């Protein structure tokens, strides 16, 4: 039970991390650098999972992914109650942490540096790749770690969209719930300890990334 849940959790978190990285960086760039109508709305929607009960997020995902939804009609694939939907739910819940951190990091990059890169022959994608993202690197990494840690611990939304099928959609947090229900204290203890350790290491890494580095001073 523990090994299955652990492996599944790793797989779900890995996919969620990829989604958070790509979607989060894109959204952070959009919110930090582009003025468009409805920006506030996008920002609110992205941040919403941070304050909504995960079951509500899960309910919305059920509506969005289930049979009869426009998305389902369009893609003709049913990912509900598979590990894919667990990864998606985890990503949605972890995304706000990533977007907030990455957005602040990107906004703090001096726009003059981007202008300088343009005068030096860089089209927009290159400005992004060689100037903006490298300079916001630490905030993006910190946000990604926080988002992944949140994704690893996701419970409510995952339960709603992926269920709690041992070996198929039962991630560590769900397995802990089951173990406690079944009064299997030994397994519960192991899993709780494992998650606590991983989260602690994650938080410590975020602190390391965000800590101001001593700038090599002028001679």
Distance CA 102, CA 142 (A): 8
Task: Find the binding residues for another protein in span 94-133 (CB under 8 A).
Answer: 110, 112-113, 115-123, 130-131
Contact 5, 167 (CB under 8 A): no
User: Which has the closest alpha carbon to 141: 14, 49, 24, 51?
Assistant: 24
State the minimum distance, in angstroms, from the CB of residue 137 to another protein.
Answer: 8
Instruction: Give CA–CA dist 30/34, Å, rounded.
Output: 5
Query: At its nearest, how many Å lie between another protein and the CB of residue 106?
Result: 14
Question: Nearer to another protein by C-beta: 134 or 167?
Answer: 134
Q: Contacts with another protein: how many residues (CB under 8 A)?
A: 21
CB-nearer residue toward another protein: 18 or 135: 135
Contact 53, 127 (CB under 8 A): no
Q: From CA 107, how far away is CA 210, in angstroms rounded?
A: 16
Closest separation in Å from C-beta 135 to another protein = 6
| Residue 212 interacting with another protein (CB under 8 A) | no
CB of 191 to another protein, least distance (A): 41
Q: Tell me: does residue 219 bind another protein (CB under 8 A).
A: yes
Q: How far is the CB of 124 from another protein (least distance, A)?
A: 8
Q: Is 53 in the site for another protein (CB under 8 A)?
A: no
- Between residue 158 and residue 187, which ones bind another protein under the rule CB under 8 A? none
CA angle, residues 146, 55, 144, in degrees to nearest 5: 15
Nearer to another protein, 67 or 213 (CB): 213
The tokens describing 38, both together, are 């409805």
- How large is the greatest C-alpha to C-alpha distance in the chain, in angstroms? 67
Radius of gyration from C-alpha coordinates of the chain: 20
Binding residues vs another protein (CB under 8 A): 110, 112-113, 115-123, 130-131, 134-135, 215-219
């Amino acid at each position: 039970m523990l090994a299955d849940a652990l492996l599944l959790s790793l797989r779900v978190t890995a996919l969620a991390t990829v989604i958070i990285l790509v979607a989060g960086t894109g959204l952070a760039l959009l919110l930090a650098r582009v003025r468009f109508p409805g920006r506030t709305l996008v920002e609110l929607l992205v941040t919403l999972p941070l304050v909504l009960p995960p079951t509500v997020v899960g309910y919305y995902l059920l509506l969005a992914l289930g049979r009869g939804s426009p998305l389902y009609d369009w893609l003709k694939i049913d990912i509900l109650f598979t590990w894919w939907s667990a990864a998606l739910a985890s990503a949605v819940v972890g995304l706000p942490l990533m977007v907030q951190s990455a957005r602040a990091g990107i906004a703090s990059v001096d726009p003059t540096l981007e202008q300088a890169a343009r005068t030096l022959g860089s089209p927009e994608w290159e400005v992004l790749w060689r100037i903006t993202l490298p300079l916001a690197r630490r905030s993006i990494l910190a946000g990604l770690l926080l988002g992944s840690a949140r994704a690893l611990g996701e419970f409510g939304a995952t339960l709603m969209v992926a269920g709690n099928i041992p070996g198929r959609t039962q991630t560590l947090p769900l397995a802990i719930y089951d173990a406690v229900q079944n009064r299997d204290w030994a397994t519960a203890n192991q899993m709780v300890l494992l998650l606590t350790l991983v989260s602690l290491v994650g938080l410590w890494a975020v602190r390391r990334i965000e800590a101001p580095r001593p700038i090599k001073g002028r001679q």
